[in-house]
Amino acid sequence: MKPAPFAYVAPRSLAEVLGALAGADDDTKLLAGGQSLIPLLNMRLASPARLIDLGRVAELAYIEAWPEGDTDAAPGYAIGAMTRQRALERDPRIVRDVPLLAEAVGYVGHPQIRNRGTVGGSIAHGDPAAELPAVAVCLDAHVTIHGPRGSRSIPASDLYLGYLATALAPDDLLTEVWFPTQPVRAGSAWLEFARRHGDYAIAGVGLTVTLADDGATVSAASIVATGVGGVPVRGTAAAACLVGARVDASGQLETAAVRAATDALRAATEPADDVQATAIYRRHLVGVLLERALPVACRRARARAVSDVSATPDNRTTESFRRD
């Protein structure tokens, strides 16, 4: 099938985009990388009256350390909405300083998809089975939104309201995502399971584990699950089960803490039955994925704690779940 007829607008600057969005309603759609919207248009699951193509807005494609200089603000990276997903994989700063993001983006479709797909497009689309929205929630990322009411920044966790529903108004434009730098004594891991390479995950888990000064006790953790609810599921109770647990030299956590965390994460999910899997299977799977990902994150955290340096090795090692 082919899309229904629509008006086409191709602005070349942020100012032109905001001008085109003035007074927009649900009949206007933004086209970023097109990896989600184009199939919806072709199948006529979406039939907007007007399409605003962001592909020529070069000022929205960047990866910058932010804030810069000597400041008390938390360090991190500001990533423009039109930054291609493949750029995250290839940027050594992201691999070093935001390794969970670099690892998770490698699971997005295939290289051809990541060459076109954008960071802002995935974050704004809000598919609950997608990787980037879950990573943004896990890392406490913030998104910058421009609209007729001015510019505002909100936590990624406040962006998602339900299945493919976000806090973005029809005349809003997500322009930037800010991800914090991973702490020195922290390790992360992403693991998902799909029926075929490149498919959306039936379930996925991302996590970070931070160790105390002794390098052997969990001081903080963050866990998120994808594919098991209408939004990325933050495993707050599961993460709390890990705090205070001991980590041995091989990266293994205390068995009781792992069991409590997996049980808590399963309890936090509300998956649905569909043609890919039953709710019972997804709930069981998310616990298995967490159990497998935890020692990987802990080994990485211990390696960083022992070396006591801010730079981390490539987080996608053969011990993990690397793809192409």
CATH code, domain carrying 67: 3.30.465.10
Could you report the per-residue pLDDT of 243-262, keeping only the tens digit for each? 999 999 888 999 999 999 99
Please report whether residue 123 resides in a domain.
yes
Residue 318 lies in a domain: no
Does residue 156 form part of some domain?
yes
List the chain residues with pLDDT less than 50. 309-324
Give the 3-state secondary structure of residue 41: helix
Residues 6+ apart with CB under 8 A from 34: 116, 121
Planar angle of CA 225, 61, 6, nearest 5 degrees: 85
- H-helix or E-strand containing 302? helix 279-307
Q: In whole angstroms, give the CA distance from residue 204 to residue 219.
A: 24
Give the torsion sign (CA, 297, 301, 307, 310): positive
d(CA 314, CA 236): 27
Q: In this predicted structure, what is the pLDDT of residue 275?
A: 87
Domain end: 143, 158, 180, which one? 180
Distance (Å, whole) CA 82 – CA 174: 10
Local structure of 193: helix, strand or coil? strand
pLDDT at residue 312, as a whole number: 41
What distances in angstroms separate CA 131 from CA 15, 42, 179, 233, one per listed residue? 30, 24, 14, 12
Structure tokens at 313: 């090795």
Quick one: tokens of 49?
Answer: 């009256």
User: From CA 314, how far away is CA 74, in angstroms rounded?
Assistant: 22
323 occurs within a structural domain: no
295 to 74, 100, 163, 255, 320: CA distances (angstroms): 27, 15, 31, 11, 10
Q: Is 254 left (phi over 0), alpha (psi -120 to 50) or beta?
A: beta
The reported pLDDT for the residue numbered 324 is 42
State the DSSP code for 59.
G
Tell me what pLDDT residue 161 has: 94
Same domain membership, residue 300 and residue 201: yes
Please check whether residue 27 lies inside any domain of the structure.
yes
Taking every pair of C-alpha atoms in the chain, what is the biggest distance, in angstroms? 63
The CATH number of the domain where 276 resides is what? Answer: 3.30.390.50
Q: How many residues does the chain have?
A: 324
Angle CA 180–37–52, to nearest 5: 85
DSSP tag of 182: P
The tally of domains found in the chain comes to 3
pLDDT for the residue 109: 86
Q: Is there a single domain that holds both residue 268 and residue 163? A: no
Residues 265 and 294: their CA atoms lie apart, in Å, by: 13
pLDDT tens-place string over residues 96-122: 999 999 999 999 988 888 988 999 999
Residues 82, 37, single domain; the answer is: no
What's the domain range around 135? Answer: 58-180
**139 and 159 fall within a common domain:** yes
